[in-house]
Amino acid sequence: MLLITCPFCGQRPEIEFAYGGEAHIARAADPRATSDEAWTEYLYVRGNARGLHAERWRHIRGCGRFFNALRDTVTDHFVATYKMGEARPDRTEGKQP
Amino acid sequence: MSEAFRLPDGGRVDRAQPLSFTFDGRRYGGLAGDTIASALLANGVHLVGRSFKYHRPRGIVSAGAEEPNALVGVGRDEAHYTPNLVATQISLYDGLSAVSQNRSPSLERDAGSINDRLWRFFPAGFYYKTFMWPRRAWTRVFEPRIRAMAGLGRAPKAPDAARYAQRYAHCDVLVIGAGPAGLASALAAAEAGARVIICDEQSELGGSLLAETEARIDGLAAQDWLAATLARLGAFDRVTVLPRTIAFGYFPHNMVGLAQDLTGYQGEPDDAAPRGRLWQVRAKQVVIAAGAIERPLVFPDNDRPGIMLADSARIYVERYAVKPGRRAVIFTAHDEAYRAALALHRAGVEIAAIADLRGAPEGAWIDAARAAGLPVRPATTISGTDGQLRVSAAHLAPIADGKVGRAERIECDLVLMSGGFTPSVHLFSQSRGKLRFDPALEAFVPGAPAEASLMAGASAGAQTLEATLATGYDAGDQAAGVSGTAQVRHFAVEAAPLSRGGFLGAVPHGRDPASVRAFVDFQNDVTAKDIKLALAEGFRSIEHVKRYTTTGMATDQGKTSNMNALGIVSETLGRPIPEIGTTTFRMPYTPVPFGYFAGYARGELFEPVRETPIHGWAAERGAVFEDVGQWKRARYFPEPGEDMRAAVARECRAVREAVGIFDASTLGKIEIVGPDAAEFLNRLYVNAWTKLKPGRLRYGVLLREDGFIVDDGVVGRIAEDRFHVTTTTGGAPRVLATMEDYLQTEWPDLNVWLTSTTEQWAVIAVQGPKARDVLAPLVEGADISAASMPHMSVAECRVAGVPARLFRVSFTGELGFEVNVPAEYGRAVWETIFAAGQPHGVVPYGTETMHVLRAEKGYIIVGQETDGTATPEDVGLGWAIGKAKPDFVGKRALARAGMAAQDDRKQLVGVLTEEPGFVLEEGAHLVADPAQKPPMTMLGHVTSSYWSAKLNRSIALAMVRSGRDRLGETLHVPLADRTVRVTLTEPVFYDPEGSRLDG
């Protein structure tokens, strides 16, 4: 079971969290101005990174807050977790302490 | 039966505590401190099972977790029966009942042993090559029979009566294995102030020290040092000592699964007490001190009962005071077997010969054996063995110039083998640590770890007791985080000289390789020939060889076989072992009964059951309940003699003609509060909310971003900044999670608070033309007359003296109210309304009646009419969409190609059978031409279908391609035994004008 560091509550076991899909996929401010292709991309197309993956998690059985995480899909180690709205940390590898 | 092979003294068994047990129904004696295996050997029993594929007689090979053969079923009855337990691991208790496996009718006379004579027909992967024709026979004849013949234990026939506990634990240092390395680690970590858990699979801590009678540590005899060390560890409050606890799995982020066996010497625990406990330990550092496992030698017929690992035989002598036989032949490529030979010799076992594969073995061990008069034969192999249910002779053949000479037959009842030792790297490998091949050791040893883990002792490649203790202490010290203090501790060890040697692969035997079987993997019946066959057939990757031959699979995970298999592959392909690599070690390290994982989650505790505040009333009334998600909902309330159809017809009639009362408390409810609450709903739901006035209700439809309906429900505006949102019964958590997602991640600018209130409100629906008459006398603080409280409005008032939110709303098509009161008052208010309704003929109704009533009105149920691909237009809810809104979740997707009504989409229609009495099956398909050949072109499917008492005929709803354009058409529903003609209609069957909503 993974240990996940909620930016609000600290390190907690995986069962307290819900996975929320890839991070940094923003809903268009005006969807009407978006092309069909772009909207299809937004709806259905996701990366499948080997290595660092930015993804959303929610501390659903804790504080309830959404946050983002960088996880290495090869080692399953979390490299960083950060609050919604913050930029993706400039990290390429490593382990979260 | 007497324990004829028990030594008069020595060992760690307690002769003051005799125990009695049965094996295959026969009664035997044993001692406290025995395992099932040691007790059987004390009684001279080697034959304990039949092999997986060939049903060959098999005996006890080892003294530990690596045992491939001695799997037994244990338990006094079916409710306490556990199959596939390892006889070398199960502590004996008084009254224990064990049985052998994979034999019929008995272990000695096993019908399946015919397979052994037919062995040439069952090579590796035989099931890929034979039994291929006729094709159907595979599933009906061949596979079931092969499955019946092959195998390990059988599943118990009764539910497990035992209880299992589970707990989480945290520590600074988890030490796995309590041999000398593990004990030294725990000692170092504890002395450094760390919180320590130390576990060991054995009933006693000590590992190899339990069979150590010669070495001295810090001036103490090894077993005295052990006792002193255990006492010292026990004195630390921060040290938890767990014997009989196997670390079976290494999970990410230093979570280790431990299975603790709680049975004791006195017998199986009472069913009220747990029989095992699953520990999930999260450790800052893990020290793996799992020891090393002796390898068998791969020689022809090396699997007869009475052929054992040499060091295991020594353990039976030294620890259990058991002579494993009377006359032994030792076959070895490693010095450690000489130590075993000397120990057995001292115990009175005649050593007929020591056959050493090595050309000129030298050193202190060989000298000691010669000095004791043991016949050492260098450069000698075993080319075969005799014996049916027990080995009776070994054929010893000299090797000269790479050629195997003429064999000499030597009678014996015991053959000990040693191919050297393999560090136990299973857990390290499970943790994704990288393995490194050590050419000197001829073994894979731990390389770079992937987790915060350290390896110590023999599992890290240490070969002497001194090195084992030193690496153990060092690892414990480092794990406790005090490595900087350079707290070096030296253990003064006087021990036997270093033993050397080792062999990988199959030994030379000089016989026709096609006619012999030299077993590599005893548990899976894989021979050297099978592995060579796999290579000959083109398999190169060791992972493929493993899967094709099954070597290294199953419960023992190749503990004794992996390295020999690698040796054969390496030799055959002419490539060094590091190039070939090793297969992945899987958890569990040893089998763990399912009960450990199920733990408390059985029966009533398997899943939470949700009951409404009115549940008790319905139960007392004799309601029949149905499961809706975790909820128990009253489905109907049968009167004496009524079946469901009669009860539902009566309930429907009451609602249509008088009044019914329905428990709608399971509806999901979310309170949305804040200055931006209306804007939030605008962005989320398809409807327009800005103009909804406080005191009014609106039917809301929620889409996903792909434009498809995900939930619906009535929303009440309680105040400018406060909405009472209802959702479907099953949808509340999902809807709330979606709302939180948008609020937190897309629209953090909105000032809105979301609160789940599902369990806070009891909801009592009062529906029917008399609904107002029933409720009006009970309501204070609101005028519920038609004039002041129209359809789709909400009032805050008191009902039966209790603060309430009173909705005027209908899911039946009749005049209706839904009374929301705090859950604690739910039953009292329900009973008051029910009493007040008596003069009006009130009838309680359940979900089945609710379904019929809403279907008569064409009201959809999300998840029944919709399946995640329906737009609002598809199900006739286009009217709900706020057309003027620039955006809402799903709006953009509705504008994509293929989403419009003219795009030949499936649409909601009504379906009337030509034969009014026939009720269609839900899920049935509709086709235009019933004469076409299957697979037919399907136009749609029935989503809801009921008998309507009110209309005196069947009704159904369906989703049909371009269904709105097909109204009036006749279609066909092909069923298993007949085809039914139906007509498509408007989906509203009753009161299409809606005149009854006002009573």
Taking only Cα atoms into account, the Rg of chain A, rounded to an integer number of angstroms, comes to 15
Q: How far is CA B652 from CA B332, B729, B812, B844, B852, in A?
A: 85, 21, 9, 10, 8
Decide if A67 is inside a domain. yes
Give the model's pLDDT for residue B1. 46
Number of domains in chain A: 1
CA distances from B353 to B332, B342, B357, B386, B737 (A): 11, 12, 13, 16, 74
The alpha-carbon radius of gyration of chain B (Å, integer) is 38
Q: Does residue A88 form part of some domain? A: no
Taking CB atoms and an 8 Å limit, are B886 and A30 in contact across chains?
yes
Cβ-count burial of B209 within 10 angstroms (0-12 exposed, 13-18 middle, 19+ buried)? buried
Q: Would an 8 Å CB–CB cutoff place A29 in contact with chain B?
A: no
pLDDT for the residue B67: 95
Same domain membership, residue B383 and residue B435:
no
Contact B282/A27, CB-based, under 8 Å? Answer: no
Taking the CA of residue A89 and the nearest CA in chain B, the distance in Å comes to 18
Largest CA distance in chain B: 115
Same structural domain for residues B152 and B10?
yes
Average pLDDT, 10 consecutive residues per value, chain B (999 residues)? 88 95 96 96 95 90 94 92 91 93 80 75 69 68 68 86 93 97 96 96 95 95 97 96 96 94 73 91 96 96 97 98 98 96 97 96 95 97 96 97 95 97 94 91 91 94 94 93 64 88 93 91 91 92 89 84 92 92 86 92 91 98 95 97 97 98 97 98 96 97 97 98 96 95 96 97 98 98 95 97 98 97 98 98 98 97 96 96 95 92 92 97 96 93 97 97 96 94 97 90
Q: Are residues B142 and B231 in the same domain?
A: no
CA–CA gap between residue B811 and residue B962 (Å, rounded) = 27
Q: Does A15 touch chain B (CB under 8 A)?
A: no
Q: Of B419, B454, B488, which residue sits at a domain end?
A: B419
Asked, for residue B850, whether it belongs to a domain, the answer is: no
Residue A31 in domain? no
For residues B347 and B432, membership in a common domain is answered with no
Would you give the end-to-end CA distance of chain B in angstroms?
Answer: 89
Cα separation, B772 vs B766, in Å, equals 8
Q: Are residues B150 and B82 in the same domain?
A: yes
Name the amino acid, one letter, at B953.
R
| A10 inside domain | yes
Q: Do A39 and B741 touch (CB under 8 A)?
A: no
Is the CB of B432 less than 8 angstroms away from the CB of A75? Answer: yes
Residue B269: per-residue pLDDT: 67
Strand A78-83 and strand B14-23: the pairing is unpaired
Helix B732-741 × helix B677-684 angle, to 10°: 110
Give DSSP secondary structure letters for B317-330: HHTT-B---SEEEE
* Residues B777, B919 share a domain: no
For tokens 């634990």, what's the residue? B169
Q: Do residues B258 and B242 lie in contact, with contact meaning Cβ atoms separated by under 8 Å?
A: yes
As given in the structure block, the two tokens for residue B848 are 């089945």
Q: In terms of CA atoms, which chain A residue is nearest residue B897?
A: A36
**Residue B887 maps to a domain:** no
Q: B892, A34: Cβ pair inside 8 Å?
A: yes
* Of the residues B480, B501, B527, the one at which a domain ends: B480
Residues of A numbered 32-61 whose beta carbons fall under 8 angstroms of chain B's beta carbons: which are they?
32, 34, 36, 39-40, 42-43, 56, 58, 60
Nearest CB among A40, A66, A75 relative to B744 is that of A66
Nearest Cα residue to B37 out of B77, B80, B69: B69
Q: How far is CA B906 from CA A61, B872, B932, B941, in A?
A: 39, 12, 21, 9
Residues 65-84 of A with CB under 8 A from B: 65-66, 75-77, 84
What the block records as the tokens of A51 is 């290595």
Q: Kindly determine whether residue B740 and residue A58, on different chains, have CB atoms separated by under 8 Å.
A: yes
Integer angstrom CA distances of residue B256 from B278, B287, B812: 10, 11, 55
Which of B745, B869, B889 has the most A C-beta neighbours within 10 Å, making it the best mutation to test the interface with A? B745
Question: Does B261 map to a domain?
Answer: yes
For position B114, what pLDDT does the model report? 75
Query: Which one of B284, B706, B744 makes the best mutation probe of the A interface by having the most chain A beta carbons within 10 Å?
Result: B744
Q: Quick check: B152 and B82 in contact, CB under 8 A?
A: no
**Separation in Å, CA of B677 to nearest CA in chain A:** 19
Q: Which two tokens stand for residue B192?
A: 């450094």
Domain assignment present for residue B969? The answer is yes
Same domain flag for B364 and B436: no
CA distance A51 to chain B (A): 15
Domain-located, residue A55: yes
CATH assignment of the domain containing A15: 3.30.2270.10
Which position has the token pair 């000397």?
B342
Chain A nearest-CA residue for B170: A13
Is the domain of B759 the same as that of B694? yes
The 8-class DSSP code of residue B157 comes to: S
User: Given an 8 Å threshold on Cβ–Cβ distance, is A66 in contact with B745?
Assistant: yes
Q: Give φ, ψ of B200 to 5 degrees.
A: -150, 145
Residues of chain B that touch chain A, judged by Cβ-Cβ distance less than 8 Å: 251-253, 255, 280, 282, 432, 450, 705-706, 737, 740-741, 744-746, 748, 886-887, 891-893, 895-897
Indicate whether B986 belongs to any domain.
Answer: yes
Set of chain A residues whose Cβ sits within 8 Å of the Cβ of B892: 28, 31-32, 34, 39
CATH of the domain at B716: 3.30.1360.120
Domain containing B363 equals 296-419
Test B893 with A39 for CB contact under 8 angstroms: yes
Find which of A12, A16, A17, A39 to mutate to test the B interface (most B CBs within 10 Å of its CB).
Answer: A39
C-alpha B171/C-alpha B237 separation (Å) is 13
Indicate whether A96 belongs to any domain.
no
pLDDT at B130: 63
pLDDT of residue B266: 62
CATH number of the domain enclosing B8: 3.10.20.440
Q: Do A1 and B253 touch (CB under 8 A)?
A: yes
Which of these, B215, B229, B169, B176, lies nearest to B195 by C-alpha position?
B169
Q: Is residue A95 part of a domain?
A: no
Which helix or strand (DSSP H or E) is residue B701 part of? strand B697-703
Are B726 and B812 in a shared domain? yes
Contact between chains at A32 and B737 (C-beta distance less than 8 A): no
- Same domain? For B428 and B407 the reply is no
Residues of chain B with C-beta less than 8 angstroms from the C-beta of A27? 705, 746
CATH number for position B939: 2.40.30.110
- In contact, B53 and B525? CB cutoff 8 Å: yes
Do B32 and B137 belong to one domain?
yes
Can you give B952-974 as a three-state secondary structure string?
Answer: CEEEEEEEEECHHHHCCCEEEEE
Residue where a domain stops, chosen among B108, B136, B158: B158
User: Residue A70 sits in which domain range?
Assistant: 3-26+36-83
The distance from CA B363 to its chain's CA centroid, rounded to whole angstroms, is 50
Contact A64 B251 (CB under 8 A): no
Distances (CA, A) of B221 to B152, B208, B209, B228: 42, 13, 10, 11
Predicted local confidence at residue B146, as pLDDT = 67
What is the ipTM score, two decimals? 0.96
Cβ contacts of A65 on chain B, cutoff 8 Å: 744
Give which of B456, B584, B440 is closest to B502, Cα–Cα: B440
Q: Are residues B817 and B669 in the same domain?
A: yes
Domain tally, chain B:
6
Residue B862 lies in a domain: no
Inside any domain, residue A94: no
Domain membership flag for residue B53:
yes
Q: Which residues in chain B touch residue A60, judged by CB atoms under 8 angstroms apart?
A: 737
Helix, strand, coil content of chain B in percent (nearest 5): 25, 30, 45
In-domain check, residue B370: yes
What is the CATH classification number for the domain harbouring B446?
3.50.50.60
| Distance from the first to the final alpha carbon of chain A | 16
Question: Are A18 and B737 a contacting pair at CB < 8 A?
Answer: yes
CA distance B298 to B303: 9
Dihedral angle at the C-alpha atoms of B270, B273, B274, B275, nearest 10 degrees?
A: -20
